[in-house]
Amino acid sequence: MLHFHVRAWSYISPKYKKRDLLLDILRHMIAITDETNAMCDEDIEELLYKQLKGKRYLVVMDDMWSKGAWDDLRPSFPDDSNGSRMLITSRLSNVVSEISDPHPLRPLSPEESWELLKLKIFQEKECPHELLEVGKQIARNCKGLPLAIGAIAGLLHRTCGESKDMWNRIADSVSSRVVNDPETQCKKILELSYNHLPDHLKACLLYFGAFPKDKDIPVWRLQWLWIAEGFVHKLECKSSEDLAEDYLMDLIGRSLVMVAKRKSNGKVKACRVHDVMRDLCIVRAKEDNFLQSVSADDEPYSSFNGLSCDLPLELFITSNERTYMDYRLSFYVNRKHFVVSRPSGPSVRSLLFFATPDQYPRCPYNVSFIPTNYRRLRVLDLESINMGEYLEFGMEHLVDLRYLAVCGDIDSIPSSLSNLEHLESLIVKSLKSNVKLPETIWNMQKLRHLCISKCATFDWGWTEDEIPTMGSLPSLVSLSLLCFTCWEVIDGLKMRFPNLQKLRCIVLKPRDIYEGFSSFPAFESQCKLESLNISYYGKVLNAGELKFPSSIKKLTLSNFRLPWSHISVIGRLHHLEVLKLVSEAFEGSSWTMEEGEFLNLKYLKLDTLNIVHWEAISEHLPRLQQLIVRKCEQLEEIPFDFVSISTLVKIEVQQCGISLEESVRRIEEEEIEGLKIFINNSYSST
């Protein structure tokens, strides 16, 4: 893997869109911006080609269903005869045989199956002697299928412990489900694992059937939905979010859910389920009237197939309106088809809409029928459909809502939305630059998560000379993306958000700025804050004394241009585990680290800084696990003594100078066990 400058992985769905595949591969190399999304397919194809040109790349195209996907993407991959590789997986041998000589994957042997089962259950420990025979029997009956082995291992480990009687019961259940068809065998074993889940985990697992195939699901979104649905039990000693995380980790531990991405702190950032597991979820959810997943192949949407989405709305068939009696609905259809069909559900409690790719995702649609057709909703997710400029079309009458996600050309939230007194999660994906929040938002006392994609401004209800004593959101624990000036931070945050744990914000330069006034905002009063991501527009003229709450575990700073002499304040934050210094967060040519600082830091990212010299030894970062250096073109080297950091498992360098790359190569030559080096430099050509 270290041989390649670029590594990318893309899932190829049966009904793929060329544009989506190009962007999916491209995002492994660059950030996908609004400008990128606005490009035509040909320009995106050319951009991908240029990003790969001259580099050694490995691209995995997973689960290809037709050769057409390869024909569409092949022109984007330059052939520089430099050792680049394309890896294609498919369930259909004739698909890959048309491209290259296939390499069929054989099932695991009984011995390999047992070794995998044993490893997943006992890790490095020995299997108890009394479980050997029954364990090998279970492994044999998994027919060499890793997915089935993983699911059974999770069931045995989480449910049966080391009880021989329980293992024998599972062995009998598996034996009764043995069939010759591999996919059917997998489904039967996954169903066995599902049947042994506690009820609350059954609901959480079935919910994966609501999401589109082959899509990574952000963990925050999944957990907030679970909570809104009532799947997560309330405990006095633990927050709902922490409990939802425990549920997810339990499902992952049972090998029923897969980790797709991890955060910088090692926690799961995104997850997914295998296609076979998803199919099982959809079938069982429908049987139990738990959830219906509606796709473009279902009526009435299949009747629209073949009609151009460019046609006017009135030319579409509108007589196929359907009333759904299910408890929860998930739509994965074209935006225009959804709006025209005007589906309804008087008893539906959850409505999630995921748009199939189309050419005009930003075109506004009239969704005013939803509050009338779905009066009992607890969950409404319309994040993938542009509803235009206004939210005032009856949304405030959905008084049972716990979760609301909307998208549109929204520049303000109507005051009537505060009628949703039970709302816990509000997500606004604005296609404009600023979103004004109403003064009535302070009435939403149960709101726990407020996420605005663009810059959000509050009506704080005071001036610099007049500080209010009323109005707060005591339940709010996460807030993004907030914009304010420094004095508002100092005087208002603690008062308005007393229990805030996660904050992403932009601090705007005060209008009447003078020399020495623009100081670094003080956050020390936010005693429960654990994650802070803060950007600043305008140089801090008088940094003064930096102040952060001691509770901070994750800190991201951007654009402050602070002198390196102030970094020690951050270094003395004893709970700090993740630090990201981005876009001139600090400026100056030299960073000299000192002893006794950053004692618990596990992840360090330096991105777009003008640093030249970095003076440090291993004792300065005794627990560092990951080091990411990106676009620090003047930085001469990574300190060689970092080879002595026993916890270090990853060094990643992107778009830096040749001198820095050479210093990392010297570290690589030491062949430190467990340390992985990733270098993706535009300067590298071989």
Model pLDDT, residue 507? 82
> Of 150, 170, 195, which residue is a domain's last?
195
Question: Is the confidence at residue 58, as pLDDT, over 50?
Answer: yes
Counting Cβ atoms within 10 Å, is residue 581 exposed (0-12), middle (13-18) or buried (19+)?
buried
Mean pLDDT of all residues belonging to the chain: 88
Which pLDDT score, from 0 to 100, does residue 111 have?
A: 95
52 and 77 assigned to the same domain:
yes
pLDDT computed for residue 184 by the predictor: 84
- How confident is the model at residue 357, as a pLDDT? 66
Q: What is the pLDDT of residues 355-373, one digit of tens each?
A: 876 655 568 899 999 999 9
633 and 683 belong to one structural domain? yes
What band does 302 get if pLDDT is binned at 50, 70 and 90?
confident
pLDDT of residue 124: 82
Q: What is the phi-psi region of residue 563: left when phi exceeds 0, alpha when psi lies from -120 to 50, beta otherwise?
A: beta
List the CATH number of the domain containing 254.
Answer: 1.10.10.10
Query: In this structure, what is the dihedral angle of CA atoms 80, 85, 86, 88, given to the nearest 10 degrees?
Result: 160
306 is a domain residue:
no
**DSSP for 300-327, written as a single string:** TGGGGTTS-TTS-GGGS--S---B---S
Whether residues 638 and 572 share a domain: the answer is yes
Together in a domain, 222 and 173: no
Using DSSP, state whether 119 is helix, strand or coil: helix
Examine the domain organization and report whether 579 and 678 are in the same domain.
Answer: yes
pLDDT of 544 reads 64
Give the H/E segment covering residue 457.
strand 449-457
Residue 26 has pLDDT above 80, yes or no: yes
3-state secondary structure 225-292: HHHHHCCCCCECCECHHHHHHHHHHHHHHCCCCEEEEECCCCCEEEEECCHHHHHHHHHHHHHCCCCE
Same domain, 86 and 167: no
Q: How confident is the model at residue 492 (pLDDT cuts 50, 70, 90)?
A: confident
Residue 206 lies in a domain: yes
Q: Model confidence over 78-87: pLDDT tens digits?
A: 999 999 999 9
Q: What mean pLDDT do residues 88-117 have?
A: 90
Average pLDDT over residues 262-278: 94
Mean pLDDT across 664-670: 93
Query: Over the stretch 175-210, which tens digit does the pLDDT of each residue have?
Result: 877 767 777 888 889 999 999 999 999 999 999 999
DSSP notation for 146-178: HHHHHHHHHHIIIIITT-HHHHHHHHHHHHTT-
- CB neighbours (10 Å) of residue 235? 10
Q: What is the pLDDT of residues 444-478, one digit of tens each?
A: 999 999 999 988 888 765 554 555 555 789 999 99
330 has which bridge partners?
A: 293, 352
Quote the pLDDT of residue 579: 98
CA-based nearest residue to 552, from 606, 502, 607: 502
Q: Give the DSSP letter of residue 128.
A: P
Check whether the bond before 156 is cis (ω within 30° of 0): no
pLDDT at position 678 is 86
pLDDT given at position 510:
64
Q: For position 355, what pLDDT does the model report?
A: 87
Q: Is residue 267 part of a domain?
A: yes
pLDDT of 227-250, one tens digit each? 999 999 988 889 999 999 999 999
Q: Is residue 263, in this structure, part of any structural domain at all?
A: yes
What pTM was estimated for this model as a whole? 0.88
pLDDT tens digits along 605-633? 999 999 999 999 999 999 999 999 999 99
* pLDDT confidence band for 686 (50 / 70 / 90): very low
Task: Give the closest residue to 364 by CA, choosing from 273, 431, 298.
Answer: 431
* Domain of 573, in residue numbers: 567-686
Q: Average pLDDT in the 662-684 region?
A: 84
128 and 62 part of one domain:
no
How many domains, in total, are found in the chain?
4
> Quick one: 144 and 122 in the same domain?
yes
Q: What is the pLDDT of residues 400-450, one digit of tens each?
A: 999 999 999 898 999 999 999 999 999 999 888 789 999 899 999 999 999
Final residue belonging to a domain, choices 97, 130, 149:
97
Q: Do 577 and 644 share a domain, yes or no?
A: yes
- pLDDT tens digits for 314-335? 544 455 568 898 899 999 998 8
572/680 same-domain check: yes
Quick check: is 140 in a domain?
A: yes
Q: Which of 665, 571, 661, 584 is closest to 621 using CA atoms?
A: 571
195, 211, 235 - which closes a domain: 195
User: Of 8, 78, 68, nearest to 47 (Cα)?
Assistant: 78
Residue 262 has pLDDT above 70, yes or no: yes
Same domain, 204 and 187: no
The percentage of the chain sitting over the pLDDT mark of 70, rounded to a whole number, equals: 89
Residue 33 belongs to some domain of the structure: yes
The verdict on whether omega for the bond into residue 300 sits within 30 degrees of 0, i.e. cis, is: yes
In the 8-state DSSP scheme, what is residue 630? E
What is the rounded average pLDDT of the residues 68-74?
92
Q: Does residue 395 belong to any structural domain of this protein?
A: no
Find the CATH number of the domain harbouring 17.
Answer: 3.40.50.300
pLDDT digits (tens, 9 = 90+) for 505-518: 988 776 554 444 45
Per-residue confidence (pLDDT) for residue 489, from 0 to 100: 59
Do 217 and 276 reside in the same domain of the chain? yes
CATH of residue 165: 1.10.8
Decide if 371 is inside a domain: no
Cα–Cα distance for residue pair 370/376, rounded to 1 Å: 11
Residues in the chain: 686
Q: Which residue has the higher pLDDT, 357 or 290?
A: 290
